[in-house]
Structure 1
C-alpha cells in the first residue's frame, strides 16, 4: 500500500500551463484540471495570471508564474519588473530562470545578485530558481543550488521543461544535498507518471512541476481504490 494520500500528493503539484501555443480554451481546460484535482498551484504564462486568478477564485489553488522564462538571459532589471507586474496581477509564487550562461561562466556574485533582486521584489512570496539542469554538469548544479540559497530564494528547481531534458533522481538528490533545510527542491520536466513523481519525492523534492497532474493523481486514485494504475499523458508535455 502506498504511504501517501491523494490529497498529500496533490499538495505537492504545481500544474504547468506554459506551452506558448495554448489558446484561451486550452488554458481553461488546464485550469479545470487543476481545480478538479485540487493541486497546490498552477504555473501559468505571465499574460494569463489575471484570468487564472479569476477562474480559480475560491478553489484553494494558488496561481504562480514564470520570470525570465525560459532562457534566464533577460537583465536583472527586466526580471524585477516582470516579478513586480506578476505580483500586481495576482501571482503568489514566482519561478525564475537563473542566468544559465553566468552560472556556467562562474560569475557567482552576479548570479546571487540576480536572484536576490527578484527575491527582494517578491518579498514574503515564494521564489523558486530554475537551474536548467540538463545544460549543467554536476559541479554547476551543486554550485547553482548553493547560490540559490545565498540569493535568498525559497526553492531550487530542476528545469523549465523546454531545454530538451528534465528532472532526474540523481540531480534532485544533488540539489537537496547542497542546500539547507531552509530551501526546498522542486522537480520539474518529465514528471509524467506516478512512479516518477514518487521517485522525485523520495529523492528529496517537495514540489513537482508537471502538466500530467490528472494522470499522476488518477493512477494513485486507482491504486488506492484497489484498481489498476492506468493513464497516458502527451509525451511532449512539460
Structure 2
C-alpha cells in the first residue's frame, strides 16, 4: 500500500490515484453479493479501503483479511448528530470488534452551535476510546461560522481525531481545495485530512490531493481511476 502520510506528488495518473481512494458503497439495499464484489474491487484495483455500512463490516473484513486493504465504516451518518454519546461509543466498539480498521463519524453540530464545547469534544473522544482505531471526524464545515469552524477543528484534535474531514457527503459540500487547505493548515502532529463530498472526477481528485488531502472518500472510485467519471454519478 502507498504511504498516505507522505507528501502527495503533483502528478498522478488515474490508476496511481487508487491507493488514496476509500472505495465507498453505502447505498440502501445493497446485497451480500454486491458487498463481496465491492470488497474484491478494492483488492483488484488497490484502493486504500472499502468503506461500507456497519452491518456489512464483518463480511467485508473476512473478504479483505490478509490483503492490506483497510476496512472502513461510518457512524452517526448519513443524518449526523442524532445518536447519544453512549450509544455512539458502544456502536463504535462493536464495529471495531467486527473488523473495521477505520471509522468516520458524524459530529454534534447543534451542540457546537449551542456553545456546548465540552460535550462536543467528549462525544468524539468517547468513540476514539471505545473503538481503539483511527477515527475520522466529519466536521460539516459549510454549516459552521468561522468561529465555529476554528472551535470544531481544535476540539476534534483534542478528542483524539486521527483525520479531519471537510464534510460527510456531497449533500453538505462538494469537496474543494479551499476547504482541504483550511484543514491542512490547522492540523497538528499526526492529524491528517480526508476529503469527502461528490468527488467524481480524476481532475477534482488530483486537486484535492495537491491541496493536502491524503485520503479521498468517494463512490466514484472506479470512474476516477479510469478517468471516465460521469458528472451525473452520485458520489459520497
Q: Equivalent residue for 1:225?
A: none
Q: Equivalent residue for 1:83?
A: 92
Return the alpha-carbon distance in structure 2 between the equivalents of residues 58 and 6 of structure 1. 25
- Residues 219 and 234, structure 2, Cα contact 8 Å, conserved in 1: no
Return the alpha-carbon distance in structure 1 between the equivalents of residues 105 and 173 of structure 2. 18
CA shift, 1:79, in A, is: 0.8
- Residues 49 and 70, structure 2, Cα contact 8 Å, conserved in 1: yes
Q: Equivalent residue for 1:168?
A: 176
Answer yes or no: is 1:178 the counterpart of 2:186. yes
1:81 partner SS: helix
How many residue pairs match? The answer is 227
2:213 partner SS: coil
CA shift, 1:128, in A, is: 0.7
Q: Equivalent residue for 1:201?
A: 209
Q: Equivalent residue for 2:197?
A: 189
Q: Equivalent residue for 1:222?
A: none
Q: Equivalent residue for 1:237?
A: 235
CA shift, 1:234, in A, is: 4.9
- Residues 104 and 140, structure 1, Cα contact 8 Å, conserved in 2: yes
Answer yes or no: is 1:114 the counterpart of 2:123. yes
Which stretch shows the higher mean deviation, 81-90 or 141-150?
141-150
Q: Equivalent residue for 2:21?
A: 13
- Residues 142 and 175, structure 1, Cα contact 8 Å, conserved in 2: no
1:1-238 equivalences under 5 Å are 3-4=11-12, 9-70=17-78, 71-123=80-132, 125-161=133-169, 163-219=171-227, 230-232=228-230, 234-238=232-236
- Residues 23 and 218, structure 2, Cα contact 8 Å, conserved in 1: yes
CA shift, 1:3, in A, is: 2.5
CA deviation profile, 1:146-204 (whole Å, cap 9, x unmatched): 11111111001122216343322211111122221421111011111111111111112
Structure 1 length-normalised TM: 0.87
1:90 partner SS: coil
Unaligned ranges ≥5, structure 1? 220-229
Return the alpha-carbon distance in structure 1 between the equivalents of residues 16 and 226 of structure 2. 14
Structure 2 length-normalised TM: 0.87
CA shift, 1:29, in A, is: 3.4
Which stretch shows the higher mean deviation, 134-143 or 183-192?
134-143
Which stretch shows the higher mean deviation, 191-200 or 53-62?
53-62
Return the alpha-carbon distance in structure 2 between the equivalents of residues 4 and 107 of structure 1. 43
1:72 partner SS: coil
